[in-house]
Amino acid sequence: MIANHRNALVQLLALLVTAASVVETMRGRNWDLAVVLGVVVLLQVAVLAGVWARRRPVGLRADLAGWIEEHAAATGEPAARVADRCVAAYRAGLTADDRIS
């Protein structure tokens, strides 16, 4: 989780530097470079949106992560789906009351 926040922060800082570069090149009337940097800003915004839109990472013990990978390989099911089902089953066991969502 910390690495995800760090990546988002680094990407945001790079976006700010690039945006400042766009402003400076426009002030200097260097339109070719301004267009290129503008495209870079758009790409950085897309990457940053992807970083924030991703699923939250969940830390697992090495033996549990290994079991998920082995089970996924044996059944042909994606490992993410196996992990989702495991977490859902665990949650269902914790919440005996059906009114809790």
**C-alpha span between 93 and 29 (Å, rounded):** 64
> Where in the chain are the domains?
2-53, 62-94
**What is the per-residue pLDDT across 9-34, written as a single tens digit (0 to 9) for each?**
888 999 999 999 999 999 999 999 99
Torsion angle defined by CA atoms of residues 63, 64, 69 and 74, in that order, rounded to the nearest 10 degrees: 100
Q: What is the pLDDT of residues 34-83, one digit of tens each?
A: 999 999 999 999 988 887 777 677 788 899 989 999 999 999 999 889 99
pLDDT the model gives residue 39: 96
* Residue ranges of E strands in the chain: none
Q: Which of 99 and 28 is assigned the larger pLDDT?
A: 28
Report field, pTM of the whole predicted structure over 0.75? no
